[in-house]
Amino acid sequence: MDTDIDRLIVFDTTLRDGEQAPGCSMTDREKVRVARALAELGVDVIEAGFPAASDGDFESVRLVARTVRGPIICGLARCGGKDIERAWQALQEAERARLHVFIATSPIHRQFKLGLSRDEVLRRAVEGVRAARALCADVEFSAEDAARTEPEYLADVIAAVIDAGATTVNIPDTVGYAVPAEFAERIAYLRENVSGIERAVISVHCHDDLGMAVANSLAAVQAGARQVECTINGIGERAGNCALEEVVMAVRTRADRMPVRTGIDTRRLAATSRLVAAVTGVAVPRNKAVVGENAFAHEAGIHQHGMLRNQETYEIMRPEDVGLGGSRLVLGKHSGRHAFRSRVEALGLALDEAELDRAFIAFKTLADRKKEIFDADIEALVLRSDETGHGPWSLAALRIRSGDGARAFAEVELQHVEGTARRESASGDGPVEAAFRAIERATGIEAELKSFDIRNVTVGEDAQGEAVVTIAQGGRIWQGKGFDTDIIQASALAFLQAVNRICARQGADAAA
């Protein structure tokens, strides 16, 4: 291996920053599934959450630390208070742990958020890092809103935290304000003006408010940053974070410009992207770089002609490099458990034996109704077999009747995990609305419908439909996804999943 090529550390924060985004909340079971997929993908660090934020967050970080092997598991903590100890407790069972402490350093955050002077912020940063270092050898420090912090002051803070024991220093563009040349200058400035900078890894964490998260991250890498913080599909607060798949494929494709390599198995990018889209219910846009459905689709005849002669005429990456392409037709009615398992594994869906059993039963049922089972069908049914873990209610039956004119009637039968069954009916302007109303009545949860989308997961007359429902309740946004060959059934399942998430959160809050 070429020793001149530095390792670029891939720090994934899908489970922390990504999960914080509206509509992206995940259950513990989903978080573990995503964390396992990230480990398979080869990320170096998984930021599993912010343990002091709530008891639920604490538990999910603990679960990931206990069950996921390979990457370093990181927990976020504010400087000061009980945050650091709490984060450390959550990480106890990790194979390798990292404590990540942060404090805001920009003038606007110092004045309006913290009400602290420069000196006080610096003092707290140092104290936080010392406290973390007393517990853990691997300590990352983040200067929140670093991109808008005075360069000289930022250099002082970074020098002081390295002195206090920080092994990684993160320079976030928290509000997505920086432009690439400026951000590169900031990194270069710190490399020149921070004494002891060579003892720490410089990291960056960029937001996409102006669509420059990936560009800013790459500019920072060219200027010497050796860790990038990113999320799958770029999910995250507001416009999101730097997209992992884009930054990884950029450094790989343009190795001539960026002398770094990552430990990512790029062939798993597409599967990981689909998994995160499925568990969050936040779809990947068709034209999304690297993992979008159209990322490798060539429509124009003149392009196709060129492609047939030489793939490189219009393609800078090969679809197979990111895990796309090849035959998507995989299994059918006569496929056995062994074939099913190997396909599930190839799709990056790490299942335990009980999960595999449930998914295989669902596969057999689907294969009776549908001739050809595609990869997307398998992903859908595996995630659907998880739904029991989402909350207390499951859909036992759904009956639709068309009334006079446009009115429709729906009757639902719901089963509660504790044994009770409830049957309710309602009318609506169409069958989908009627089904939603009946579910609201049966569960006693009223929510405001924000959006509702339906699309085919696969092709053919017997294609599975995917419904995505976004609802608002109690000042929060909740998403649900449902899959079925019947789109009204898929819609009801999606709505019920969102309602289940509300119930699960209410249960967690009540227990806390």
Strand boundaries in 403-511, DSSP class E: 408-416, 421-428, 448-456, 465-473, 476-484
In the complex with Zn ion, which residue's Cβ is closer, 17 or 57? 17
In the complex with Zn ion, which residue's Cβ is closer, 47 or 387? 47
- The region of 17-25, 50-58, 217-225, 352-360 touching Zn ion under the rule CB under 5 A is 17-25
In the complex, minimum distance from the CB of residue 217 to Zn ion, in angstroms, rounded to a whole number: 12
In the complex, minimum distance from the CB of residue 13 to Zn ion, in angstroms, rounded to a whole number: 7
In the complex, minimum distance from the CB of residue 377 to Zn ion, in angstroms, rounded to a whole number: 35
Find the binding residues for Zn ion in span 179-218 (CB under 5 A). none
In the complex with Zn ion, which residue's Cβ is closer, 47 or 245? 47
In the complex, minimum distance from the CB of residue 437 to Zn ion, in angstroms, rounded to a whole number: 38
Q: Does 387 bind Zn ion (CB under 5 A)?
A: no
Q: Pairing mode, if any, of strands 227-230 and 408-416?
A: unpaired
Q: CA 504, CA 95: separation in Å to the nearest integer?
A: 29
CA dihedral 46, 49, 50, 53 (to 10 degrees): 180
In the complex with Zn ion, which residue's Cβ is closer, 21 or 324? 21
In the complex, minimum distance from the CB of residue 17 to Zn ion, in angstroms, rounded to a whole number: 4
- The region of 15-23, 246-254, 259-267, 446-454 touching Zn ion under the rule CB under 5 A is 15-23
Taking CB positions, which residue lies at the least distance from Zn ion? 17
Q: CA 64, CA 72: separation in Å to the nearest integer?
A: 11
From residue 444, alpha-carbon distances to 422, 439, 440, 510 in Å are 11, 8, 6, 17
Among 102, 144, 147, residue whose Cα is nearest residue 125 = 102
Find the binding residues for Zn ion in span 288-317 (CB under 5 A). none
In the complex with Zn ion, which residue's Cβ is closer, 74 or 408? 74
Report yes or no: 349 and 301 within 8 Å, Cβ to Cβ: no
| Residues contacting residue 405 through CB under 8 Å, at least 6 positions apart | none
Q: What are 351's two structure tokens?
A: 């299942």
Q: CA 512, CA 389: separation in Å to the nearest integer?
A: 19
Report yes or no: 175 and 186 within 8 Å, Cβ to Cβ: no
Helix axes 337-346 and 353-369, enclosed angle (nearest 10):
110
For 336-357, the DSSP string reads -HHHHHHHHHHTT----HHHHH
- The region of 16-24, 143-151, 295-303, 322-330 touching Zn ion under the rule CB under 5 A is 16-24
From residue 35, alpha-carbon distances to 30, 40, 60, 121, 322 in Å are 8, 9, 11, 33, 19
In the complex, minimum distance from the CB of residue 114 to Zn ion, in angstroms, rounded to a whole number: 17
In the complex with Zn ion, which residue's Cβ is closer, 20 or 335? 20
In the complex, minimum distance from the CB of residue 209 to Zn ion, in angstroms, rounded to a whole number: 11
Q: Pairing mode, if any, of strands 201-206 and 227-230?
A: parallel
In the complex, minimum distance from the CB of residue 329 to Zn ion, in angstroms, rounded to a whole number: 40
In the complex with Zn ion, which residue's Cβ is closer, 172 or 391? 172
Q: Does 245 bind Zn ion (CB under 5 A)?
A: no
Q: Which helix (H) or strand (E) holds 315?
A: none
Torsions phi, psi for 406 (to 5 deg)? -90, -5
In the complex with Zn ion, which residue's Cβ is closer, 17 or 145? 17
Report yes or no: 267 and 48 within 8 Å, Cβ to Cβ: no
Report yes or no: 75 and 16 within 8 Å, Cβ to Cβ: no
In the complex with Zn ion, which residue's Cβ is closer, 125 or 230? 230
Output DSSP code: residue 113.
I
Size of site (CB under 5 A) for Zn ion: 1
- The region of 9-17, 85-93, 320-328, 361-369 touching Zn ion under the rule CB under 5 A is 9-17
- The region of 12-20, 23-31, 35-43, 350-358 touching Zn ion under the rule CB under 5 A is 12-20
In the complex, minimum distance from the CB of residue 144 to Zn ion, in angstroms, rounded to a whole number: 9
In the complex, minimum distance from the CB of residue 211 to Zn ion, in angstroms, rounded to a whole number: 16
Torsions phi, psi for 285 (to 5 deg)? -60, 145
- The region of 13-21, 410-418, 444-452, 457-465 touching Zn ion under the rule CB under 5 A is 13-21
Q: What are 135's two structure tokens?
A: 């517990």
In the complex, minimum distance from the CB of residue 214 to Zn ion, in angstroms, rounded to a whole number: 14
- The region of 10-18, 270-278, 310-318, 420-428 touching Zn ion under the rule CB under 5 A is 10-18
In the complex with Zn ion, which residue's Cβ is closer, 17 or 355? 17
In the complex, minimum distance from the CB of residue 249 to Zn ion, in angstroms, rounded to a whole number: 21
Among 56, 51, 20, 19, residue whose Cα is nearest residue 35 = 19
When binding is defined by CB under 5 A, the residue of 12, 17, 246, 386 that contacts Zn ion is: 17
Dihedral angle sign, alpha carbons of residues 386, 388, 394, 396: positive
Q: CA 248, CA 271: separation in Å to the nearest integer?
A: 15
In the complex, minimum distance from the CB of residue 174 to Zn ion, in angstroms, rounded to a whole number: 6
In the complex with Zn ion, which residue's Cβ is closer, 241 or 266? 241
| Residues contacting residue 458 through CB under 8 Å, at least 6 positions apart | 374, 376, 377, 464
In the complex with Zn ion, which residue's Cβ is closer, 17 or 246? 17
Identify the three-state secondary structure at position 169.
Answer: strand
In the complex with Zn ion, which residue's Cβ is closer, 125 or 331? 125
Residues that bind Zn ion (CB under 5 A): 17
